[in-house]
Chains A and B, each alone.
Chain A
Amino acid sequence: MSTAIPSANAVSRSGKVRPDSTPAAAQKRWIQDDAVVGLLFLLPYLVLWGLFAVLPIGYGFYISLHRWNPIGGSKFIGFENYTQLFAVARFWNALKNTFVFAGCVIPLILGLGLGFALLLHRRSLRGAGLIEGALFFPYLLNVSVVSILWAFLLDPNVGIVPYYMRLLGLGSPDFLNSPVFVLPTIAFVTAWWLCGYRMVVFRAGLNAIPQELYESSAIDGAGPIRQFFSITLPLMKPSILFAAVLTLVGGLRTLGQVIIMTNGGPGTSSEVLALYMYRLAFESFNFGQAAAVGFILFAIIFVLSMVLVRVLGLRSELN
């Protein structure tokens, strides 16, 4: 919503407007000046981003085009690492597992985070601060702690979860040793760990919605469900986008929980792409092919994140 304001340069000291200072030219110059200033403000970030994001990604891609030997003597092989990967069943299995895991964990984290945020947003709820603190607490834990803790809780012999399930006569599936249950189980543990932070993000989004909108909509006859879908969700789009992108990225490149809780097992039932990449690089020392997996994973995350941004939009409806 810019207006044609002539810049200071466009007006001579005598106060006369210079010949090139038509409103359109002045507007163009103003925009150019603004862009330069904006770019300067962005420059420190852009330098760091270039150094620590663009450069490593580019270098990773470069490595993926080689039979890489860090000690020396790497050989350029074009896209051979990629074509070899596409011919390996274990790669496709890891890709499938990655999507299955992401498909479980993303809705779980976002759903639980949003659900808790909505519950705690009710001012009448007593002890909301305490509950919020308890829900946020797991997020403070390290992935190793979370994984070891849950592996112990779910242990078929000494775990408290199977014990109580047996006590209740439910029978206990072998959570971490069953090809069917293993990925949903790790997704549940991940959701327990991370949903508290998403809840805080959603609560911030909820707090930014003016109360008057609810009051006026109530006068117009809107019930809580209508209010949720017509006011709450649309006005929370920036928070949802932020949480969704964060969860998507985290979900697709999950490694810590998997490596500690199952090491990809049973068999390869929980071997996700990040673990497959890790194994290629650090167990087989096949760095070129590992870089190719890394680049494929990056491309998937990038495309899906852009789709999310496109679907949800960056602009808040509050603006």
Chain B
Amino acid sequence: MASRREFLQGMGGLGLAAMTNVLSNPALAAPAKIWFNTLFHGGDADAMETIVKKIGAADSNIQVDLTQGAWTEYYAQLYNSVVAEAAPQLGIVDDFRYESVAQVLYDVTDTPAGNMLDRMGIKPGDFNQWGISLVGGKPLGIPLDQNGFGIFYNKDIFKQAGLDPEKFPETRDEFENACEAIKKIGKIPYHPALSGETRFIRRAWLGLLWGNNGKFLEGDKPAFNTDKGREALQYLVDGVLKRGWNKPGTNGNNQFLAGELAMLQNGTWFYLTVEKAKLNYGCSMPPKFFERRVAWGGYHLIVLPKQPDSKETIAKLETTAAFLKAFLPYTSLWGEMGGAVPLFKAGIDNPELKQTNTWRKTLGMFAQAAASGAMLAEPRHPKITDVDLAIEPFTQQAYNGTMSVKDALDQAEKAVDKVLSAS
């Protein structure tokens, strides 16, 4: 009978042999687990989680640690994690923040693991609007979707107000008449800016500015402080302060989900939230308030934050490529669950997507708007975030009635000038 020492020695030897075998044979080693950090936090976060789970269930070699966070903290985390050499292998970036973080992203055609597009078996022509991924001619990301604003409206309130719930106002007059009819039945007619946060007020104004054929920036100069810009902001302000369609400081999401608000400007991502609220709703592009029917929009890109130089990085990037390849067939599901317009052609052209409830309720309309150029993105500029931050306090003060439209845009122009002229 073997002694306890002999038994332990034997087991130890066996363990060592097994370990040596595993380490010397990468095929038997555990696959590299990758970290995917997104900025999604609403219905689109649920969609991404579902897709990642499905990919993991289909292929156990693709292990993904998915974390999803608040939008405002996201870019700071992304930047700092690269500086700390502890970045996620995959991230998501909005097009308007894309250039500000370009320094910390890989060129997807030139990573330590080679050309990711080749590894995924795709080419730029497989995407609608591949051009949005280019910074200085280099693709620093893979286009995921186009998102933007539309107006979600409560069909029951429309009916109560004597309006046709299947026909959303298309002109400014029709829209204003609808608002007045809704006001008469004691409901809140319209909220132009989602939860009412400063950035949403600015975006609502931008939609009107572009609809009025105005410009935001021209090169390195602000171009919004014009008659068209002031007219657009005045219309936004009058809606709350003069016409009484809502009040400053209110949260349109809460009002809409509580069934008190008839029309809410919100994004493609609002689809799942409003579905869960079980409201009888419709969705449309904003009416033609001025010259054109357009709305604020943007893009999401999948990006690869830079990693420290190591063998482990290459292994992780290989897993990343495998994950992205597996992700492509799910881009239509991304559209179905997340509500945004997929930019991978095979995803948006998928006939199954067009049979879904999402397509019928919101996505079909958004896809048409995207294709016709009615969802406009902010101009690409390395300082666009600073420009936005400089403007937002003034557009909000105008919206609140604590500053005149003229003063607001004068001061915003000065602030933007300062931002753009700073070294």
Binding site for B on A (CB under 8 A): 70-71, 84, 88, 90, 155-158, 174, 176-179, 259, 263-268, 271, 279, 281-285
Q: How far is the CB of B392 from chain A (nearest CB, A)?
A: 8
CB closest residue in chain A, given B400: A266
Nearest-neighbour CB distance to chain B for A280, whole angstroms, equals 10
- Answer whether A157 and B393 are a contact pair too, CB < 8 Å, given A88-B418, A174-B248, A282-B76: no
B247 touches A263 (CB 8 A): no
Known: A71-B82, A156-B250. A267 touches B389 (CB 8 A): no
Q: Report the bound CA distance from A163 to B198 in whole Å.
A: 25
Contact B397 A71 (CB under 8 A): no
Contacts A157-B251, A263-B198, A266-B396 given: A71-B386 contact, CB under 8 Å?
no
B397-A267 in contact (CB<8A)? yes
B249, CB-defined interface residue at 8 Å: yes
Report the Cα distance A264→B199, complex, angstroms.
12
Residue contacts A-B, CB under 8 angstroms, 10 given:
A88-B418, A90-B415, A264-B393, A266-B249, A267-B198, A267-B402, A282-B73, A282-B79, A282-B80, A283-B76
The binding surface of chain A is classed by DSSP as: loop
Contact flag A285-B100 (CB < 8 Å), given A71-B82, A155-B251: yes
Say yes or no: is B1 at the interface (Cβ < 8 Å to chain A).
no
The answer to whether B251 touches A282, judged by C-beta atoms less than 8 angstroms apart, is no
Shortest beta-carbon distance, A89 to chain B, in Å?
A: 8
Summed over the interface, the residue pairs from A and B with CB atoms below 8 Å come to a total of 78
Given contacts A84-B422, A157-B255, A179-B402, contact A267 B250 (CB under 8 A): no
Which residues of B have CB within 8 Å of A155? Answer: 251, 254
Expressed in whole angstroms, the minimum distance between the Cβ of A105 and any Cβ of chain B is: 22
A281 to B249, CA, bound (A): 27
Identify A71's interface contact among B104, B415, B418, CB under 8 A: B104
Instruction: Say yes or no: is B352 at the interface (Cβ < 8 Å to chain A).
Output: no
User: Are B75 and A177 touching (Cβ within 8 A)?
Assistant: no
Which of chain A's residues has its CB closest to B84's CB? A70
User: What 20 additional pairs, Cβ within 8 angstroms, besides A71-B82, A263-B198, A284-B386?
Assistant: A70-B79, A84-B422, A88-B418, A155-B254, A156-B249, A157-B258, A157-B260, A158-B254, A174-B247, A265-B197, A265-B198, A266-B248, A266-B249, A266-B402, A267-B403, A271-B393, A282-B75, A282-B76, A283-B389, A285-B100
| Complex CA–CA separation, A17 to B113 (angstroms) | 81
Q: How far is the CB of A268 from chain B (nearest CB, A)?
A: 4
Report the nearest A residue to B394, measured CB to CB: A267
Q: Is B171 an interface residue (CB 8 A)?
A: no
Give the top 5 A-B pairs by smallest Cβ distance, nearest first: A177-B249, A282-B76, A267-B393, A70-B83, A267-B397
Would B75 and A283 count as touching, CB distance under 8 A? yes
* Binary interface encoding of chain B residues 75-93 relative to chain A, with 1 for a CB under 8 A from any of its CBs, else 0: 1100110110000000000
Q: Report how far A71 CA is from B385 CA in the complex, Å.
A: 20
Query: Hey, which chain A residues are within 8 Å of B177, CB to CB?
Result: none
A283 contacts across to B, CB distance below 8 A: 72, 75-76, 385, 389
The answer to whether A281 and B76 touch across the interface, beta carbons within 8 angstroms, is yes
Q: Which of B385-414 contact A (CB under 8 A)?
A: 385-386, 389, 393-394, 396-397, 400, 402-403
CB distance from A97 to the nearest CB of B (A): 12
Q: Is the CB of B254 within 8 A of A177?
A: no
